[in-house]
Structure 1
């Protein structure tokens, strides 16, 4: 987890016309103190890597030459972890009540060294189980990804390419 507590830098570049690049970097501030991540360290790391990869995919929507830096400050995943009987295994139970997903982050969007946009965002989706979701039911982060997609589209007015 130490790698993630400092910075999980995920750099993604998309070569566009004229050789320009768009890049995204994602860092996690003290993920061991996040509100809700799996108990297993390996599962926590998998979740953080998957969220970083999702931000990178979204970054491909940004215009060439723009760089997005995201600092995730807290995560509360949809549902709750519950132990499965006598084993040490946990499952995530989604009830649709007060267990909606939440993510707190800071972001900076830059181009040519100039800040275009920056701020803090508190993402949440209280009706996470009542909306259509384009992510597969087997995707453990389908509610969080949809929530991030909605924020990204609204904040950066960046529609999907292609």
Structure 2
């Protein structure tokens, strides 16, 4: 299978995102407790319902906005998948694309099931109190996007051709 790395990276990113949300939010009772200090201030669990995009942007709370964000996320997943196929991407690009797609699909499932994305991770450091929460899928989306930029083949081609 030519794109096995993309598939498995996406599968595991999706599964880890959904499992972590279930474990922390439901099994550990974060939905009821609202906050659990794990390694304060570095790592805390804080319950969050994100109806918008990053940092609550575009949070209108409307059903139309929910479906627009679902559609946009799915369009990005398809675009990244097709782009990766057309590039005949190597393993690092496939891994990056899979992480991005798996994380995005995890957030899509949340929007379909709950109407919002479940967030629970909160990290602060060095006297700075971070009020924002995120989830494991967001980490995979960020890592995947960074990987797509860092491992893009044209950059590697330019380095090879440089004198």
Q: TM-score, normalised by structure 2?
A: 0.28
Where relative contact order (Cα < 8 A, 6+ residues apart) is larger, the structure is 2
User: Larger helix proportion, structure 1 or 2?
Assistant: 2
Higher strand proportion: 1
Decide which structure has the larger Cα Rg and report it.
2
